[in-house]
Amino acid sequence: MNSLKDDEVGVTMEAREFVFAALAELAAQRATRSELAGLRRELQRLGKLAANASTTPNEFKLATYAYVQVLYGAARNARLNQIMRDLSEGVGHAFGHLSMATQEMRQAEYEAYRDLTEAVAGRDKDKVHALARRMHSTGVARAQQLQAAIPAAVVEFRGRRRRTRPLSATV
């Protein structure tokens, strides 16, 4: 799994798009005032990071994780949240930063989160669903574009390996 165009990565990213949209839509229906305030706080943080030329892609990526944790919490669907975590294991963590590599990309990402926040606050589930799907697919497209421009060895991903036996076991 070392390319965003690999079949496994592609189907995983496609599934993530739908789950992300479903979580965002549920958040639009269920978010409390406190959760909406939390989304706005995280959005404000994203805006500051996007405007700062010295922000690293990883700093911005971590801030987006904080935002989506509030969003996913507002959805109040533990199963979908777990599915998203499972889908993000490896693929999202390996390639997510590519969609935020430049300040221009981070600004575009911030603007997408701003639009999503406004739609969630407006309880417009159809708009939220469409925005979330577009955000995800646009991010994947940006990451693919950047990945195509850099050597494969730089972006190769080997993923996390789960051990099925204790480290002390000998073969």
Residue 162 has pLDDT above 60, yes or no: no
Q: Tens of pLDDT along 80-116?
A: 999 999 988 866 556 666 778 889 989 999 999 999 9
Give 115 or 2, the one with higher predicted confidence.
115
Of the candidates 38, 1, 59, 8, the residue with the CA atom closest to the CA atom of residue 117: 38
Cα torsion 11, 109, 40, 88: sign: positive
- pTM, 2 dp: 0.81
pLDDT at 168 over 80: no
* C-beta of residue 101 within 8 angstroms of C-beta of residue 57: yes
**What is the structure's pLDDT at 9?**
75
pLDDT tens digits for range 4-45? 456 677 788 889 999 999 999 999 999 999 999 999 999 999
Greatest C-alpha distance within the chain? 59
**Predicted local confidence at residue 76, as pLDDT:** 98
Domain ranges of the chain: 7-155
Report, as an integer, the average pLDDT of 47-67. Answer: 94
Q: How far apart are the first and last CA of the chain?
A: 27
pLDDT value of residue 151: 59
Report pLDDT digits (tens) over 115-161.
Answer: 999 999 999 999 999 999 999 888 888 777 777 776 554 444 444 44
Determine the pLDDT at residue 155.
Answer: 44
pLDDT of residue 152: 57
What's the CATH code, domain 7-155? 1.20.120.530
Q: What is the DSSP string of 32-76?
A: -HHHHHHHHHHHHHHHHHHH-TT--HHHHHHHHHHHHHHHHHHHT
